[in-house]
Amino acid sequence: MSAPPPDELRELARVAAAADRILIITGAGISADSGLPTYRGIGGLYVREQTADAVPIEVALSGEMMRDDPALCWKYIAQIENACRAAVANPGHVAIRRIETLRPGCWTLTQNVDGLHRAAGSQRLIEIHGNVQRLYCTVCAHSERRADFEGLDIPPACPRCAGLLRPDVVLFNEMLPEPAVETLHGIMAAGPQLVISVGTSSAFPYIAAPMWQAREQGVPSLEINPDITPVSDLARYRWPLRAAEALPALADALEALVRA
Ligand code: OAD
């Protein structure tokens, strides 16, 4: 497949144009089109068994490691931030912002910490794994936003109290941020009328759950992913395409309908 099937594209644009509530779920695959590495799959960060420090990456990037050996944990966070630094939002991110503008009841649930949805202008955004550009002090109430980590000591100290600064991201074995979870629960309770899952391996239950709910409630759903995932069989439509080629086609078709 090199483009969405025209009949499916028309049908999904029609559903989106009539939907008051749309949920778009995104993962590392959408940012792969901006040149960022994914976590799993070919070239993924977790594909190698061990880091250079002889611990699995899930251990290096865990809440325990941030507490016990912040320098090691920060080393891998800084690598992720470094990969994000040159990246800019791609046509997939822009298409999601366009869909949000055309359909005000559209929300995006992202696992990405790279800030590219925000850079593309998305506002109804749930960053369920946080954002690497926000730092906060583990000791006092200081927090700050940094465009990048250029010139930052690793691990960085709080400018106010010299305590450890850390990024506002969800590390392994940490809780999800409460406000993000509450917003997501509200969306799920209201019941999205269209669910689109893009560029995620759906490794976590709260990411797969909206696709399950859509299936159970007979709500249309679409998966955009070149690979098969645990939610592939749940999706009513499946486009094995890159996010940056599939999403602009959907935004164009929706725009044509809404503006007609
Ligand atoms: P993964 O790396 O697990 O999955 C990326 C998915 O994107 C795979 O299913 C790929 O097939 C697909 N993909 C690759 N290129 C694509 C493209 N151009 N267009 C569309 N899809 C493409 O990434 P996530 O599912 O986001 O969590 O991983 C979830 C979480 O695992 C991350 O947020 C991170 C990690 O542990 C934390 O850091 C807490």
131, 128, 100, 102: which is closest to 116 by C-alpha? 131
* pLDDT value at 132 more than 70: yes
**Is 185 in the active site?**
no
Question: Collapsing DSSP states into helix, strand and coil, what is residue 36?
Answer: coil
80, 88, 84, 74: which is closest to 152 by C-alpha? 74
13, 6, 47: which is closest to 201 by C-alpha? 47
pLDDT in tens, 182-191: 999 999 999 9
pLDDT in tens, 61-82: 999 999 999 999 999 999 888 8
Cβ-count burial 231-249 (b if 16+ within 10 Å, e if not)? beebbbbbbebbbbbbbbb
Task: Name the band, by pLDDT with cuts 50, 70 and 90, for residue 53.
Answer: confident
What pLDDT was estimated at residue 67? 96
% of the chain with per-residue pLDDT over 70: 99
CA angle, residues 193, 196, 202, in degrees to nearest 5: 125
What pLDDT was estimated at residue 1? 83
| Global pTM value | 0.95
Task: Name the band, by pLDDT with cuts 50, 70 and 90, for residue 42.
Answer: low
Task: Name the band, by pLDDT with cuts 50, 70 and 90, for residue 92.
Answer: very high
d(CA 161, ligand 1 centre) in Å: 37
How many CB atoms are closer than 10 A to CB 122? Answer: 25
Asked, as a colleague might, if the bond just before 205 is cis with ω within 30 of 0, I would say no
d(CA 184, ligand 1 centre) in Å: 19
What pLDDT was estimated at residue 51? 81
Atom 30 of ligand 1, residue of closest alpha carbon = 111
Q: Which of 37-41, 201-205, 246-250, 254-258 is predicted with the least confidence, judged by mean pLDDT?
A: 37-41
What pLDDT was estimated at residue 5? 98
Residues with CB under 6 A from ligand 1: 27-29, 32-33, 38-41, 44, 111, 129, 170, 198-201, 203, 224-227, 229, 242-243
Atom 21 of ligand 1, residue of closest alpha carbon = 199
CA angle, residues 162, 168, 173, in degrees to nearest 5: 105
Q: Give the span between the Cα atoms of 232 and 218, in whole angstroms.
A: 15
Q: Give the span between the Cα atoms of 38 and 180, in whole angstroms.
A: 23
User: Is 96:103 a contact under the CB 8 Å cutoff?
Assistant: no
What pLDDT was estimated at residue 2? 86
Mutational test site, ligand 1, from 176, 227, 239, 247, max ligand atoms within 8 Å of CB: 227
Q: Identify the bridge partners of residue 107 per DSSP, sorted by sequence position.
A: 23
Q: Give the span between the Cα atoms of 14 and 213, in whole angstroms.
A: 21
Ligand 1 atom with minimal separation from the 92 CA = 19
Laid out side by side, the sheet with 165-169 consists of 143-145, 130-137, 165-169
Ligand 1 atom with minimal separation from the 202 CA = 25
